[in-house]
Amino acid sequence: MQPIDCGRHNRFLRALRREPVDTTPVWVMRQAGRYLPEYRATRQRAGSFMNLCRTPELACEVTMQPLERFELDAAILFSDILTIPDAMGLGLDFVEGEGPRFAKSVRTPEDIDALGIPDPEDDLGYVPAAVKLIRRELGGKVPLIGFAGSPWTLACYMAEGGPTERFSHIKKLMWDEPGALHRLIDKLTEAVKRYLEAQIRAGAQAVMIFDSWGGVLAPADYHEFSMKNLRALAQGIDRGPENVPVIVFSRGANEHLGALADIGADALGLDWTVSLGEARRRTGGKVALQGNLDPAALYASPASLRREVDLVIREYGRGPGHVFNLGHGITPDVNPDQMSVLVDAVHAFGRGATELA
């Protein structure tokens, strides 16, 4: 077979389109983050996490940091999924050791009806500004991914006021005031749509929707309050003249993969609790698949890590349409040297696997 004429500049985008590539592309969720000492230094200089997000020059700086260390095939905008509710006036802060917290929560129909939809070019203007800066800095070396949280996931954080294990407030709202929750999720769907379109106009070459809490819903509730709006986004976003691809990552929702393959997304992200071979069977070749190494594998020895990378690639099997990633974000205390092992192993084992079966 003739070598595929592509490289880091388009390997990722070709894989999302299920076109042949020279080797499996790889990027990692939270690849710009606390495991890197240079990120920690920039974060300290910023003074707060939100200052880091809201300063385009600093967001660009940390976006570029992992690309200067590793042969990654995509950059992802440095930001946070909770920027939209923050722009709705909920007052986002990050508490050391606890994570994100809102000054206000949204738990009643009155709370929901009082919310406006933020203007992404004004209320969230620092995000498209960062996208433009990053694209300029990348110089075409690799594509840039923009992203947003899913409507359901944003609603969870807004009702709970921060991280939770019980989801008691959002589920109470769902059962007691389903019409109000639909109004909230519809507002968030429109907000996410406008936000991602602003990122695309600014230069994002792919966009990803993080449905981090889709897996906490019972099947009927998942279809009603999560998947319905994921479909509306996948089919309704103006993708621009380049027809920017959309990736949907609905964590913990593996039983819904067959239905998710039909919502209009180009790719589905996967956690590590389903094999790629099984996911490929359930999705019937309709979408590219992204994932799905257990992030804890980065604590194993380099030899074991290489073995696990090889296993993931073998589980996907021959043929295009695979983007290698972790099944969740990289954790803060990982040794950065392990990322080098991971990326090099993906590119080594991925050669040949990407050829047509």
Residue 355 within a domain:
no
Residue 172 within a domain:
yes
Question: Computed from CA positions of residues 41, 147, 72, 130, in that sequence, does the dihedral angle turn out positive or negative?
Answer: negative
Q: How confident is the model at residue 300, as a pLDDT?
A: 98
Residue 6 within a domain:
no
Please count the CA atoms within 13 angstroms of the CA of 178 that sit on its side-chain side.
4
CA distances from 222 to 43, 225, 230, 264 (A): 36, 5, 11, 17
- DSSP state at residue 288: E
CATH of the domain at 275: 3.20.20.210
Residue 356 within a domain:
no
Number of domains in the chain: 1
Q: How confident is the model at residue 355, as a pLDDT?
A: 59
User: pLDDT tens, position by position, for the chain (357 residues)?
Assistant: 444 555 788 999 999 999 999 999 999 999 999 999 999 999 999 999 999 999 999 999 999 999 999 999 999 999 999 999 999 999 999 987 778 999 999 999 999 999 999 999 999 999 999 999 999 999 999 999 999 999 999 999 999 999 999 999 999 999 999 999 999 999 999 999 999 999 999 999 999 999 999 999 999 999 999 999 999 999 999 999 999 999 999 999 999 999 999 999 999 999 999 999 999 999 999 999 999 999 999 999 999 999 999 999 999 999 999 999 999 999 999 999 999 999 999 999 999 776 544
Q: How confident is the model at residue 357, as a pLDDT?
A: 42
3-state DSSP assignment of residue 93: strand
Residue 3 within a domain:
no
Instruction: Give 242's contacts (C-beta < 8 A, 6+ positions apart).
Output: 205
Closest CA to 203 of 146, 122, 284, 142: 146
Structural contact between residues 303 and 324, judged by C-beta atoms closer than 8 angstroms: no
Q: How confident is the model at residue 7, as a pLDDT?
A: 75
**Cα–Cα dist 330/333, whole Å:** 9
Please count the CA atoms within 13 angstroms of the CA of 81 that sit on its side-chain side.
26
For the CA atoms of 38, 42, 48, 54, what is the dihedral angle to 10 degrees?
-120
- Owner of token pair 């007691």: 176
Q: How confident is the model at residue 1, as a pLDDT?
A: 42
Residue 221 within a domain:
yes
CA distances from 123 to 47, 58, 133 (A): 21, 19, 18
Structural contact between residues 208 and 269, judged by C-beta atoms closer than 8 angstroms: yes
Residue 77 within a domain:
yes
DSSP string of 189-258, one letter each residue: HHHHHHHHHHHHHHT-SEEEEEETTGGGS-HHHHIIIIIHHHHHHHHHS--TTTT--EEEEETT-GGGHH
**Which backbone phi and psi does 13 adopt, to 5 degrees?**
-70, -35
Q: Model's pTM, two decimal places?
A: 0.96
**What domain range includes position 267?**
11-350
For residue 356, the one-letter residue type is L
Closest CA to 250 of 191, 158, 328, 307: 328
Residues taking part in catalysis: 30, 34, 43, 80, 157
For the CA atoms of 44, 95, 104, 32, what is the dihedral angle to 10 degrees?
50
Q: How confident is the model at residue 6, as a pLDDT?
A: 58
Residue 224 within a domain:
yes
